[in-house]
A and B are shown apart, each in its own frame.
Chain A
Amino acid sequence: MGAIATAAVPAARRELAKWLALGVSLATFVLAAVIAVRFDPDGDRFQLTESRAWIADFGVRYELGVDGIAVVLVALTALLVPFVILAGWRDADPAGGSAASTQSRWRPTQGFFALILAVEAMVIISFLATDVFLFYIFFEAMLIPMYFLIGGFGDKAHEHGEEEAARQRSYAAVKFLLYNLAGGLIMLAAVIGLYAATSDQLGAGTFSLQEILQARGNGELELSTNTERLLFLGFFFAFAVKAPLWPLHTWLPNAMGESTPPVAVLITAVVDKVGTFAMLRFCLGLFPEASDWATPLVLVLALVSILYGALLAIGQRDIKRLIAYASISHFGFIILGIFAMTSQGHSGATLYMVNHGISTALLMLVAGFLISRRGSRLIADYGGVQKVAPVLAGTFLVGGLATLSLPGLAPFVSEFLVLVGTFSRYPVIGIIATVGIVLAAIYVLVLYQRTMTGPVTEKVAKLPDLRVREVLVVAPLIALLVGLGVYPKPLTEIVNPAVEHTMSDVQKTDPEPDVTPVEAAHE
């Protein structure tokens, strides 16, 4: 899975590097598809496991395995990366084609695609890892290629010229790194703490998720309330930064705004999912009581994220930052679903991760096509694009509608599940979160109105419509959105058993309805 040979391709063979990267990512996708097919939803919790001793002295093992939630997310990652590569086809070409000086120093194109593949590999391993330490290593290591992707291949469109863009870019990259590193180090402390606790009580320390779960299940491992809470907070903080949860979110708009659109997709659709995924697997799985204790706080933060992200999205002048804030709002929904502790909430949150990945990818990539045509990220610079480039506008609208969770498209199913799941346990929070729906409509439609409709502005008049390569990127995403919106059953079938396991980890059952329904007379 970690075929990162792309970097070795010589500079003259730029095209070859691209094809190689595309090929590798497609191969990964095929592999992921095979995993998904071989995965048996009704079988054991973790399947296709693989385990090797790694650092034997500390009980660190190279342990991989998938449960229903992971398999879906791995599939998502493997699915999106080929699109990212395809969409970023030209992004890393040396400026102007003739700038020999930039070319001689290093090989930007190869580097770009190699880094993307590196990120993909690390994200997938994070999803697969069932060893806490292994997970931690890749959770952190992901930052390094991401840092270079943000800092090295930024978006050159900036209102104050290229130099300012470069400055902003390195600011964004450093901010990204520092935020996530801070979260990661706190998590490291918690990981070590967990190890210490296991070695105290089980005789030999272990990082293995399965062993710990088992030990907790049969009462061999008893954490005191305070220890558990502290460890939970340590883990949660790291994931909340990654996710990003209000008020730890400010790195995301910068990082997404300054990076190229494909990289922005990589950040929000793939890398951030590790955070929410880890909340579901590690926070809830390892520390059920502490999760329960922290639920009110987390729910409120998630709620604030939803509303705050949406309101800020309305106020943005920059297309990409707007999408970034919209994502913050969506991550609020995901976290809400996770901590609502109902099976609808969990299924919804998992589906939401997938659907949000696809819908944001679509919106961001189309926005990227738009921006690369006009060379500006400011909403005010556009207007009337619909008339000039109807296909571009149409796909942008579909992406926008998916973002506002229009029924019939995939995100609706997940958002509604999250809301229902939240509502059945916390009605007030559920109702307030519903307001987010209206706000989503406002920011999406305002964006669409300002960019796509109205009289054609002078600079927009010559914009070409989508090229074949771009349609090739966009069309499958739209097809997926519609397909999963109408028929999400394949996904839910994989996810449901895993959700049941998680529910039994946290020892919760769904609230019962007041009335046992009279069976509908289906003949």
Chain B
Amino acid sequence: MESLIGLLVAAPLLGAAVLLCGGRIPQIDRTGHWLGTVLAFTSFVLGLVLFADMLGKDGEERALQSHLFTWVPVEGFQADAAFQLDQLSMTFVLLITGVGSLIHLYSVGYMEHDERRRRFFGYLNLFLAAMLLLVLADNFLLLYVGWEGVGLASYLLIGFWQHKPSAATAAKKAFIVNRVGDVGLSIAIMLMFVTFGTFAFEPVMNSVGETSEGKLTAIGLMLLLAACGKSAQVPLQSWLGDAMEGPTPVSALIHAATMVTAGVYLIVRSGAIFEAAPDAQLVVTIVGAVTLLFGAIVGCAKDDIKKALAGSTMSQIGYMVLAAGLGPIGYAFAIMHLVTHGFFKAGLFLGAGSVMHGMNDEVDMRKYGGLRKYMPVTFVTFGLGYLAIIGFPGLSGFFSKDAIIEAAFAKGGTQGWILGGAALLGAAITAYYMTRVMLMTFFGEKRWEPDANGEMPHPHESPRSMTIPMILLAVGSVGAGAFFDVGERFVHWLEPVTGFEHGHLPEGLSVAMVTGATVTCMVLGVAAAWLQYGRRPVPAAAPRGSLLTRAARRDLLQDDFNHVALVKPGEYLTRGLVYLDHKLVDGIVNGTAAAFGGLSGRMRRIQNGYARSYAVSMFGGAVVLIAATLLMRAV
């Protein structure tokens, strides 16, 4: 069984290698997309086999280890290429390969007319391999390899249409912002190495108790920084909105279902560190709460369907981070929400992609409207995803989100009330913006406009290869929550790895009250959106809006802030340094040279070419020499 773990990563890696290097071979060019898809499914099947094997064992003995080779052997520094597959990793493996395979299938249809389709599948396979490496690694350094690997794949895929300057810029931005987070991860690894002498998960987690809280807090905060970068949490969230420049399947796979949740994985994986550092944990919950509101507000203001969904992703990951920051009462729910979110958000993105596919790649929701009759399958699957994300009772989002809100209240004290309140408010806003998306896209009047080439869109249902994944994901978004929640199945599954405690709600609150409040908030949100967008026609041009709306359209001024606070000074700094390097550092050197040059120019005058003056200097020299000799003798 252990050897299968390596194969799990190797299959998509092989795909990436073949698809990216074999470009000149026409057979590969023509059938490459199927090769990529098959390899993704191979990985999924391998994951299922391992899963079945795991189910056959007892809870504590399910973890598998597989040591491949010693990666970097240096005196006192041991990094291994070794895998560890436990229940937490297994969950991710199934999510990644499952959703990944579906999205491969979807892309076969979506990218049909793109001449560089082979390359696209190569990148997708590369992403799968890196992401699997990330969740399967048994130490932080190998995790770091996967961590940057997914960053690279994300960079390549966001910038896939690189002839568009906006796509290239967005890709670069994503990579650089992620790099800032990576600095956090590498510092955290260095701190671990200095403190524990190793950075493998097991020894680090086992010896957490033996060091000071200060160091653990530092490690925790650095890990959080890393998580913020990858999972688009405040203050490193600015790249996610722009990342929507990539093809839609990419947004669904990387920027909704899998890669952006890597931060949550990191926090849950290093739970022991956070539990021993309450300050770091508190910061995690704050970041989560702030982001869930931030993302939700941004989501309300966007007219671009994908950017609205991106805001929503940010906000949902905020929920997960919040839950992960709550400790053992939240870990299981964070991961559960992560999985259900993986289903419904991927489904929503694929639905959005299907809509764009039918509407000549138009993304502005103000130019949609009334599509439900033309794209029935898309409408139904999107609608189910919509109900799941707003937490409609009985669908998957309801179970996972409700559990997180309860856990937030259960943290206790003022903190619990504030976090719980924020989560509730977030639920209301979620319902509002998702209803807005739904109404603007599928209901109301047709507001279609001709595209840049002057063609009117002819909305039509997408091909089978696109609708099947959407249907499967919709099934997941409907059923997963209930399936997980019955008998707390999911919690028991994860418990051996992450630990679990039941949260205790504060005095005066019962589970029913929290659930009731959540549902009420949702209904309020839906109602507000219906009042604004359902009853009245949607204006084709966006109204100017309030100050908040305008700020939210600009991502709450985050980019502007970055621009003013970081980019501009950076530009001035580099320009100044270039100038200085040329003038000052080089200037000093050249100045010395010039001084010598001037001096020799002066000296040169003496050499006037008159033989007589040379003779004079000769005599002068002789006289001086003789005088010196005589003087020396006299002394």
Contact = CB atoms under 8 A, between A and B. Distances in A.
Consider the complex of A and B and state whether they touch directly, i.e. have CB atoms less than 8 Å apart. Answer: yes
Interface in A439-481: 441-442, 445-446, 448-449, 452-456
A435 B183 contact: yes
Interface in A166-181: 175, 178-179
A213 B179 CA distance: 44
B183 to A, nearest CB: 5
B506 interface: no
A500 B75 contact: yes
A348 B198 CA distance: 17
B195 A514 contact: yes
Interface residues of A, number: 76
Interface of A, helix, strand, loop or mixed by DSSP = helix
B530 interface: no
Interface stretch (A49-57, A286-294, A383-391): A383-391
A251 to B, nearest CB: 9
A510 B149 contact: no
Interface in B145-197: 145, 147-149, 152, 155, 159, 162-165, 167-169, 171-172, 175-176, 179-180, 182-183, 186-187, 189-191, 193-197
A355 interface: no
B152 A406 contact: yes
B168 A438 contact: no
B453 interface: no
Contacts of B141: 416
Nearest to A487: B69
Contact of A520 (B147, B164, B202): B202
Contacts of A179: 589
Interface stretch (B261-269, B463-471, B578-586): B578-586
Query: Lowest 3 A-B CB distances belong to which pairs?
Result: A513-B197, A315-B574, A453-B168
Contact of A516 (B152, B197, B593): B197
B520 to A, nearest CB: 45
A420 interface: yes
Nearest to A413: B72
A344 B74 contact: yes
Contacts of A407: 144-145, 147-149
B76 interface: yes
A437 B183 contact: yes
B70 interface: yes
Contact of A517 (B77, B155, B207): B207
Contacts of A308: 577, 581
B41 to A, nearest CB: 25
A438 B195 contact: no
B568 interface: no
Contacts of A510: 75-76
B200 interface: yes
A434 B74 contact: no
Instruction: Give the one of B147, B179, B180, B211 with max A CB within 10 A.
Output: B179
B435 to A, nearest CB: 38
B75 A344 contact: yes
A343 B69 CA distance: 21
Nearest to B143: A407
Interface in A366-399: 384, 386-387, 390-391, 394
A514 B215 contact: yes
A492 B203 contact: no
A333 B194 CA distance: 19
Given A407-B144, A437-B186, A454-B165, A391 B23 contact: yes
B563 to A, nearest CB: 15
Interface in A401-429: 401, 406-408, 412-413, 416-417, 419-420, 423-424, 427
Nearest to B581: A312
A316 interface: yes
Contacts of A431: 187
Given A434-B186, A438-B179, A455-B165, A315 B196 contact: no
Interface of A: 175, 178-179, 247, 249-250, 308, 311-312, 314-316, 343-344, 347-348, 384, 386-387, 390-391, 394, 401, 406-408, 412-413, 416-417, 419-420, 423-424, 427, 430-431, 434-435, 437-438, 441-442, 445-446, 448-449, 452-456, 486-489, 492-493, 496, 499-500, 503, 510-523
Nearest to B182: A437
A513 B194 contact: yes
B573 interface: yes
Contacts, number: 190
A504 to B, nearest CB: 12
Interface in B184-233: 186-187, 189-191, 193-198, 200, 202-204, 206-207, 210-211, 215
Most-contacted residue by chain B among A250, A434, A499, A517 (CB, 10 A): A517
Nearest to A178: B593
B286 to A, nearest CB: 23
A437 B204 CA distance: 25
A470 to B, nearest CB: 14
Interface in B484-519: none
Contacts of A452: 162
A315 B573 CA distance: 9
13 contacts: A250-B581, A312-B574, A344-B77, A386-B163, A417-B74, A424-B190, A437-B182, A438-B179, A453-B167, A500-B75, A513-B196, A517-B196, A518-B203
B575 interface: yes
A424 B75 CA distance: 13
Contacts of B574: 311-312, 314-315
A448 B74 CA distance: 34
Given A407-B148, A417-B72, A452-B162, A446 B172 contact: yes
Interface string B49-72: 000000000000000010101111
B278 to A, nearest CB: 20
Contacts of A420: 77, 189-190, 193
A515 B585 contact: no
Interface string B533-577: 000000000000000000000000000000000000010011101
Nearest to B81: A486
A390 B162 CA distance: 12
Given A250-B585, A387-B163, A343 B203 contact: no
A441 B69 CA distance: 29
Given A430-B190, A514-B196, A489 B162 contact: no
Contacts of B609: none
B200 to A, nearest CB: 6
B176 A445 contact: yes
Contacts of A430: 187, 190
A518 B144 contact: no
Contact of B202 (A314, A437, A499, A521): A521
Nearest to A425: B194
A316 to B, nearest CB: 7
Contacts of B194: 423-424, 427, 511, 513-514
Contacts of B190: 419-420, 423-424, 430
B242 to A, nearest CB: 13
Given A417-B77, A487-B69, A408 B169 contact: no
A319 B75 CA distance: 38
A442 B570 CA distance: 11
B75 A513 contact: no
Given A517-B197, A519-B203, A492 B74 contact: yes
Nearest to A308: B577
Nearest to A452: B162
A455 B167 CA distance: 11
B198 A517 contact: yes
Given A413-B72, A441-B175, A521-B202, A515 B163 contact: no
Nearest to A518: B206
B148 to A, nearest CB: 5
Nearest to B20: A394
A417 B72 CA distance: 9
B136 to A, nearest CB: 15
Contacts of A487: 69, 71
Interface centre among B69, B119, B196, B215 (most CB of A within 10 A): B196
Given A434-B183, A499-B75, A515 B210 contact: yes
